[in-house]
Structure 1
């Protein structure tokens, strides 16, 4: 059945694209962008005062990037409850998003097996698996967004609102790639569920027999 083959192929390509987008997002350093609007008044260029950060490191101006504080090595750190909460959110992000990469690979293998065997239950299971994986990726990105806003709020509380008046924050293309990965993962799950429904209909009594290569 041509439709079934197209659905399975689209699901496989969607899963590959989802993995590529998330891998690029996790490895890049443009999740969180901080721009200083009044850099000239502070005696420095905008490139020197602005910065961009990833999940693992931050880059300030044109200088080299430095690793972020390891949230796992800071579990016993004597810090305020707000800082401890930020570290726990950072730990969650650093676990959930790499785990999502592993789950996408496992899902792709399951999808390949279900396509070769043309098993309706396995297709249904793999489709639900991708939907849950997309939900996990969405949760990781959402936690990162919450973590970033709380980190800026904590910085404002510590240094005063006047010192951050000229600072503008935004999320960069790394975060956009992660959102795209989540979308493609969910789409792959929907395509697999549709393929399972199509295969189930083709096997009902009275349906025309066809062979998918």
Structure 2
């Protein structure tokens, strides 16, 4: 089956919308990191929590109370190297993921024009922009994973392993949305590169005729 520019246009439209919507939902929701303490005590649902990029919420199912993230380490004079690393990683992923949304919007506008105009260079540029945006998304997710691991390690250091051993800690569906967005954005960028090759091939055939 021959790949056509029309089929690629439909695919990039669908994949682009999915990538944009899922990443916006991921950034705006609070289920990146879930702490389930239901096994710790019978009435421990209030101790459970789920966190997003900007705030953390308690474990109440219907009316959770949420608080914005604040510096948990007190005065800057008391910072250890691990504290500085955690704060630096937090500042990194809260910048990278919204930046990816901006790159995605720019790529979408350029891509829409390039498909209508069937312009080789603009299609190629759109593919590069979206691949760069996918790289930013991947970097943001990776930094968040590293941040979560470092924060858990710091919690083990401050507390005791016995305190945390019965706590179920896992990533939530907000991170799953971010991963889906990354894959969709990656496929969209590759599709624009393929579209540029198709346009170039059609132009060569027209010139040969």
TM-score (norm 2): 0.90
Please name the residue that 2:10 is paired with. Answer: 9
Distance 1:135 1:157 in 2: 33
- Runs of 4 or more, structure 1, over 2 Å off, are 37-40, 74-78, 205-209
Structure 1 unaligned residues grouped into runs of 5+: none
Please name the residue that 1:60 is paired with. Answer: 58
TM-score (norm 1): 0.88
Distance 1:109 1:145 in 2: 31
Q: Equivalences for 1:66-77 in 2 at 5 Å?
A: 66-69=67-70, 76=76
Please name the residue that 1:190 is paired with. Answer: 190
Specify whether residues 77 and 65 from structure 1 end up closer, same or farther in structure 2 by C-alpha distance, changes over 3 A only.
farther
Structure 2 unaligned residues grouped into runs of 5+: none
Post-superposition shift, 1:76? Answer: 4.6
Please name the residue that 2:43 is paired with. Answer: 45
Give the paired residue count. 204
Post-superposition shift, 1:96? Answer: 0.3
Q: Equivalences for 1:1-213 in 2 at 5 Å?
A: 3-40=4-41, 44-62=42-60, 63-69=64-70, 76=76, 78-205=78-205
Distance 2:77 2:9 in 1: 49
Q: Which moved more, 1:156-165 or 1:57-66?
A: 57-66
Report the secondary structure of 2:36's partner residue.
strand
Distance 1:98 1:77 in 2: 30
